[in-house]
Chains A and B, each alone.
Chain A
Amino acid sequence: MSFAWAKQYEPQTALTKWLDEKLPFPRLVYNAVGAGYPVPRNLNYMWNFGVLAGFCLMIQIVTGVVLAMHYAANAQVAFGTVEHIMRNVNYGWMLRYAHANGASFFFIVIYLHIFRGFFYSSYKAPREMIWLLGVVIFLLMMATAFMGYVLPWGQMSFWGAQVITGLFSAIPLVGEPLQVWLLGGFAPDNAALNRFFSLHFLLPFVIAGVVILHIWALHIPGSSNPTGVEVKQESDTVPFHPYYTAKDGFGLGVFLILFTFMVFFLPNALGHPDNYIEANPLSTPAHIVPEWYFLPFYAILRAFTGDFGIPFTDVVLIPAKLLGVIAMFASILVWFILPWLDKSPVRSGHYRPLFRKFFWVLVIDMAVLTYCGGAPAEEPFVIISQIATAYYFLHFLVILPIVSQIEVPKPLPFSITEAVLGKDKAAEAPRAGTAQGGDAGSLPDGSLQPAE
């Protein structure tokens, strides 16, 4: 779909005319990320991260495909082939550091993209499907990143694989056989390494496929914007190209400066030294920690230290380990119902004074969880991560529904144009008020009624 005033693609040359008849690929690009896609004119820098995430996926696929040409997924030699890449392959060190830090930067970008979604309620109608697909992408990214971290076959690779597949062993009855089936053995070894490599190669292309769906779903209602007021008229939008291609170009430059700084000057800062020790099933590292981007969820996993049972008896209903696994998966799956937990008709956090405070508490809470996930399982970190975990679930499941019920939002601007220019001629024209006395147009869906 597009707005009525969207520019139409007009092939200029004989070649593009011919191409447009046979396979209108240039038209597709023109309408997707070209002048044919009208975008709200007021997007701030937080809207750069979608394009950056796509760029990160490209970096990972390009560097990863080249690395795969030099890597061997065999437990006997995997560690050595990574060193072969670092020492003997031309610019192999650059490829590998770009790939390893690229994963970290992919997650930085994705977390900013997700928290942008939280603050501006990008998940709300009519954009629920974009959000749901985004959560699917995030889950696929986590699986891909975990399996990629196993491939160098260092100590953290091996023990990480042991711990993460061990999560499945917490499932009652089928848990233990399930873990053996996943690993292809009783412990991580060649079978596990081979299948992880195969899946690590496959999943990025699955991600690319879901990204296409994500962008497709985005183009149905069009991009959201910082006011949360829907597009009403042509003066609310600008064509994606050249306006946002230029802005994204600048954002990409800033991103690349930070990224290359890490690749060339601090390439191992985000990794763990133990992964430069070859995997050894007989020697357990002092602290097994996942990569930094999994730490908040790792903290939630470890927060459940007590079996859930009937007090003052030995009856255990759910063991602590299973509770932790359920909570860890639930902490991400809860995002799937987020569009229906937050009923406030106002999208943007700028106009939601109470919600905004809780949003920042959530940001701090995630930072605390990240820190506790990397800390040893000792007091006081255990108690802190338990409190932070409790807040995490209360935030999404209890606070958001209640806040959206009781909050009095600030008045919204009539339109994006008014928000940017301070006035909008269309706003002065006679218009229909609602029973509450507000502008029909001030509802977040424009002329539509809110979700309920």
Chain B
Amino acid sequence: MSIRLGGIIAGLAITAVLVLWSLVPGAYNYAFGPAPEKQPSYAFYEHGEGPAGGFSFDGAFGKWDYAQLQRGYQVYKEVCSACHSLKFVAFRNLQELGYTEAEVDAEAKSWTVPGIDPNTGETTTRPGMPTDYFPMPFANNIAAAAANNNAIPPDLSLMTKARHDGSNYVYALLTGYTEPDAEKAAKVGFETPLGLYFNKHFPNVNIAMAPPLAVDGQVTYADGTEATIPQMSADVAAFLTWTAEPSLVQRKQTGWWVIGFLLFATVLAFLSYKQIWAGLKPKKG
């Protein structure tokens, strides 16, 4: 009895403290206090969508579009890699994009990576090898910040997994550089700070990255695809999805085999369960 009495007293005490000292002042403040201030920039944010028709790897049966991944790699190499690293990806991984071993060799050679002079031991640079990882564009974070108006360009290896709905987010961000509605901006006194760029799909709409894909035809695709801004954006978003999760398609395909087997095994388990219990069930009627 004393436990229950103590419990009732403790329960009422906790509730009283919560209601009188937290809930009532909070509710009073919510009802009569000043409304929380919102940044004017929130009025300009728009949730971004992915490319029309989606990506080839979407859905449970999704597959890589190797031509698109190769185009996306070209965009990364010619545009993004000037500022953004890809530190978890090695040149050898490019073979998964459909390149032959010789092509990967040649591709690796086209990059310059840090090396050590075998005669003097001094640091130097050399052409890449398939075992090398993609090189860092800046020596360190301070150099990266100094060259980019104090913003450090993030590593892109995992970008599509590090944002909600990442593949679509990358596409939306790259196509989201517009001008804010001038009338609305004048009304709320919104202005993009100097050195930042307006992007309606970036969470606070002011992004430090200048529009990386600014004109159609910025990249001349090897396969002759017309390089519109949406096309390049979709291609590089697909490529970054692959860098973030090279096993994505293998994972889904393995999943079907696993679930298929488990469905079969579970049906068998259900039937044996029913058979074993059959003698015990009450007879109907």
Identify the A interface with B (CB < 8 A). Answer: 41, 80, 83, 86-87, 93-94, 97, 238, 242-243, 246-247, 249-250, 252-254, 256-257, 260-261, 263-265, 267-268, 273-274, 276-277, 286, 303-309, 320, 323, 327, 330, 337, 340-341, 343, 378-380, 382-383, 386-387, 389-390, 393-394, 396-398, 401-402, 420-422
Given A383-B23, A401-B7, also A246-B277 (CB < 8 A): yes
Contact A306 B11, beta carbon cutoff 8 Å: no
B157 pairs with A305, CB closer than 8 A: no
Q: Give the distance to chain B from A238, nearest Cβ to Cβ, in Å.
A: 7
- Flag B180-203 by CB within 8 Å of A: 1 or 0 each: 000000000000000000000001
B166 within 8 A of A: yes
Report how far A351 CA is from B264 CA in the complex, Å. 38
A253-B270 in contact given A267-B251, A303-B18, A389-B18 (Cβ < 8 Å)? yes
B17 within 8 A of A: yes
Instruction: Kindly list chain B residues whose C-beta atoms are within 8 Å of the C-beta of A242.
Output: 276
Question: Quick one: CB contact mask for B65-108 with A, threshold 8 Å, 1 for yes?
Answer: 00000000000000000000000100001000000000000000
Residues of B within 8 A of A264 (CB): 251-252, 254-256, 258-259
Contact indicator B246/A87 (Cβ below 8 Å): yes
* Residues of chain A lying within 8 A (CB to CB) of residue B258: 260, 264
Known A340-B3, A380-B30; judge A246-B22 contact (CB<8 A): no
Partner of A246, one of B14, B25, B259, B269: B269
* Interface pair B15/A401, CB less than 8 Å apart: no
- Cα distance A93–B161 when bound, in Å? 14
Interface string of B250-285 (1 = CB under 8 A from A): 011011101100110110011011001100101000
Other-chain residue from A265, A306, A308, A394 in contact with B255 (beta carbon distance below 8 A): A265
B32 in contact (CB, < 8 A) = no
| Number of residues from B at the complex interface, CB < 8 A | 55
**A83 engages B88 (CB within 8 Å):** yes
Interface of B is mostly: helix
Counting CB contacts under 8 A, is B12 at the interface? yes
**CB interface residues, B 16-40, toward A, < 8 Å:** 17-19, 21-23, 25-27, 30, 36
Complex contacts, B259 vs chain A, CB 8 Å:
257, 260-261, 264
Roughly how many angstroms separate A86 CA and B282 CA in the complex, as a whole number? 52
**A253 B265 Cβ-Cβ under 8 A:** yes
Chain A interface mostly helix, strand, loop or mixed?
Answer: helix
Complex A-B: 23 CB contacts under 8 Å:
A86-B245, A243-B276, A246-B269, A246-B272, A249-B272, A250-B269, A253-B266, A253-B270, A261-B259, A273-B161, A273-B166, A274-B162, A277-B154, A305-B22, A305-B26, A330-B14, A341-B4, A341-B7, A386-B26, A390-B19, A394-B12, A398-B8, A398-B15
Given contacts A320-B22, A386-B18, A386-B23, contact A397 B7 (CB under 8 A): yes
Given contacts A94-B254, A252-B269, is CB(A306)–CB(B21) below 8 Å? yes
Distance, CA A94 to CA B255, complexed state (A): 10
Closest-by-CB residue of A relative to B166 is: A273
> B12 and A303: CB pair below 8 A?
no
Chain A: minimal CB distance from B42 (Å): 13
Do residues B247 and A306 form an inter-chain contact, with CB atoms below 8 A?
no
Which residues of A are found within 8 Å of B142, using beta-carbon distances? Answer: none
Once A264-B259, A340-B4, A383-B30 are accepted as A-B contacts, the answer to whether A303 and B265 lie under 8 Å apart by CB is: no
A330 to chain B: closest residue by CB: B14
In the bound complex, what is the Cα–Cα distance between A65 and B60 (angstroms)? 30
Q: How far is the CA of A286 from the CA of B27 in the complex (A)?
A: 24
